[in-house]
Chains A and B, each alone.
Chain A
Amino acid sequence: MIKFNNINLIYDDKVLFKDYTLNIEENEKILISGPSGCGKTSLFRLLLGFSKLDKGEIHYNNQILNKKSIRKIRSHIFYLSQDIDFRNDIVENIIKEVFEYDLNKHLKYDISQINKYMIELELDENLLSKNIIDLSGGERQRIGLLICFLLNRPILLLDEPTSALDEKMKNKVADLLIQKGKTVLIISHDEVFQRNKNYKKVELTNGNNGY
């Protein structure tokens, strides 16, 4: 479904990937780990078209990632960044704005669905009227996951989605992600994912991926 084909990437004068190849099948759950600065997030950024390859190709459903296909590819990907980069606003406004975006026009802003997922993620209802900046790290992560569930896109790129959650919630999220039947790429240092047999482990190393 997703193929990184012989890619090269140099970032800040550091070779992150050299002739690196990675194949991801549909519905696969991939756990990416490795030391910081080894290129985990860069892999996500490449797939989103936020960084440019120095060499090689990325394929999605037999379609090459280029300026023509990038918007379509992005529309199939939900990305949860490590810092959950929302601008500061009231949570409800942020969610509404996401639904106004062109690529999500086919979706309906449905408060009952939001409430359902909020219960699932053990989020308090009054969080919706709070400023995102006043939320705790764990609450922000779960708001990110809430939007992830609402958008219901086939591929999930999750960068440390559970780092600020308690043990019980980490387990719950790990299971929820499996139940959803999506293709999941997850960057995490959490044991929960390491232990879980449903996640295929991909280990990146510092400076010599694909050498």
Chain B
Amino acid sequence: MGTTDINALSLTYFLIFLVPFVFVCFKVKLNIVNKVIYSVVRMVIQLSFVGIYLKYIFDYNQPLINILYILIMITVATFSILNSTKLKIRNMFMPVFCSILIPVSVMLLFFNNAIISINNIFDAKYLVTIGGMLLGNSLSGNIIALDNFYSDIKKNEKIYLYSISLGGTRIQALAPFFRKSIIASINPIVASMATIGLVALPGMMSGQILGGSSPAVAIKYQIAIMLAIFFTQFFSVNLSILFSIKMGFNDFDILKTKIFN
């Protein structure tokens, strides 16, 4: 049993909402019409491409290609994080790339082996979809964590340096900043775990039910994926700050300004 297909043409029916949307924006002087249209167009184009190449990836289903696909996604995620946090690619690519790669690979192997026990742990159907969800969340978590950490340090550099002068190691002096940014980055997912299902059904669960899974299966998957997302994100943000610290400070423990764009 599958989901009823949507006619691509019928997606354009959404244009009907464009009229009241533009009307409201105009009335309350919301200057976001262009931005929204830009984002919608990007979403449509990006997802269309994903639809095309995912079809091939699922058809071929070669472990090497699937792994390569995950690596490419991690690379894109890293660029996206560095872009949003205004950190230099040259200095920060490797630390951030590794801090996503390590927890995501460990979690994917664990998930496919221990949790759903599939025979081919590199099966595209699981590797690519679960990997994508882990990555998406690590991406947002890392943006919050790194942005928080480095803007806080820049703003409160005196406090950091004062701890250094009082005898702290670089890690000891950075610890309060570290803790603050980790908490800021995992707070959203901790909050969403606590309220999940109360109001809205998560996207993955809805998708599975529409796809024909029983609610019981969908819920088990949802619990598993939430835990996987949480742990992956948690370890990823810890690593990314830790690894980036190595690149971000000089031999005198001073924050390097050249790591910022």
A100 / chain B contacts, CB cutoff of 8 Å: 172
The answer to whether B252 touches A101, judged by C-beta atoms less than 8 angstroms apart, is: no
Q: How far is the CA of A35 from the CA of B166 in the complex (A)?
A: 27
Q: How far is the CA of A86 from the CA of B254 in the complex (A)?
A: 18
The reply to whether A74 and B172 contact each other, CB–CB distance below 8 Å, is no
List A residues 63-100 near B (Cβ within 8 Å): 67, 70, 74-75, 77-79, 81, 83-87, 98, 100
**A104 and B162 contact, CB distance less than 8 A:** no
Let me know if A102 and B251 touch, CB within 8 A. Answer: no
Q: Which of the 9-residue segments A24-32, A47-55, A134-142 touches chain B?
A: A47-55
Considering the chains assembled together, what is the distance between the CA atoms of A147 and B166 in angstroms?
9
Q: Is B167 an interface residue (CB 8 A)?
A: yes
Q: In the A-B complex, list the 4 residue pairs whose CB atoms are closest, starting with the nearest.
A: A103-B167, A67-B251, A101-B167, A85-B162
Interface flag for B176 (CB, 8 Å): yes
> B172: which A residues are within 8 A, CB to CB?
100-102
- CB-defined interface of B60-104 with A at 8 Å, one 1/0 digit per residue? 000000000000000000000000000000000000000000000
Check A151/B252 contact, CB under 8 A, given A81-B158, A83-B158: no
Return B184 CB to nearest CB of chain A, in Å. Answer: 16
Which residues of B have CB within 8 Å of A70? 251-252
Q: Which residues of chain B in 141-179 are interfacial with respect to chain A, using CB atoms and an 8 Å cutoff?
A: 156, 158-159, 161-169, 172, 176
Q: A85: which B residues are within 8 A, CB to CB?
A: 156, 158-159, 161-162
Which residues of B are in contact with A by a Cβ distance under 8 Å?
156, 158-159, 161-169, 172, 176, 251-254
Q: Shortest CB–CB separation between residue A98 and chain B, in angstroms?
A: 5
List residues of chain A with CB within 8 A of the CB of B161: 48, 50, 85
CB atoms of B162 and A101 under 8 A apart = no
Distance of A156 from chain B, by nearest CB (Å): 12
**Which listed residue, A74, A87, A147, touches B164 by the CB 8 Å rule?**
A74
Cβ of B163: which chain A residues have Cβ within 8 Å of it?
87, 101
Selected contact of A102 from candidates B169, B253, B254, CB within 8 Å: B169
Return the chain A residue nearest B164 by Cβ. A74
In this complex, the member of B162, B166, B172, B253 whose beta carbon has the largest number of chain A beta carbons within 10 angstroms is B166
Contact of A151 among B167, B176, B254 (CB under 8 A): B167
- B167 to chain A: closest residue by CB: A103
A73 to B124, CA, bound (A): 57
On whether A101 and B156 interact (CB within 8 A), knowing A50-B252, A52-B252, the answer reads no
From A52, which residue of chain B is reached at the shortest CB distance?
Answer: B252
| Complex Cα spacing A104 to B164, Å | 11
A84–B251 Cα gap in the complex (Å)? 24
Question: In the assembly, what is the distance between CA of A102 and CA of B172, in Å?
Answer: 8
Number of A-B contacts (CB under 8 A): 60
| Shortest Cβ distance from B169 into A: residue | A102
Contact of B162 among A52, A79, A102, A103 (CB under 8 A): A79
- Asked if residues A79 and B169 are in contact (CB atoms below 8 Å), the reply is no
Given contacts A85-B158, A85-B161, A87-B159, contact A98 B252 (CB under 8 A): no
- Contact flag A81-B162 (CB < 8 Å), given A102-B167, A102-B169, A102-B172: yes
Known contacts A49-B252, A52-B252; A87/B176 CB under 8 A: yes
On chain B, the residues within 8 Å of A75 by CB distance are: 167
Q: Which residues of A contact B167 (CB under 8 A)?
A: 74-75, 98, 101-104, 151
Closest A residue by C-beta to B254 = A50
Point out the residues of chain B lying under 8 angstroms from A74, CB to CB: 164-165, 167
Q: Which residues of B contact A79 (CB under 8 A)?
A: 162, 165-166
Interface string of A188-211 (1 = CB under 8 A from B): 000000000000000000000000
Cβ–Cβ < 8 Å partners of A81 in chain B: 158, 162, 165
Residues of chain B contacted by A52 (CB below 8 angstroms): 252
Which chain A residues lie closer than 8 Å to B168 at the CB level? 101-103
Once the chains are docked, how many angstroms separate the CA of A41 from the CA of B254? 17
Task: Indicate if the CB atoms of A86 and B162 lie closer than 8 Å.
Answer: yes
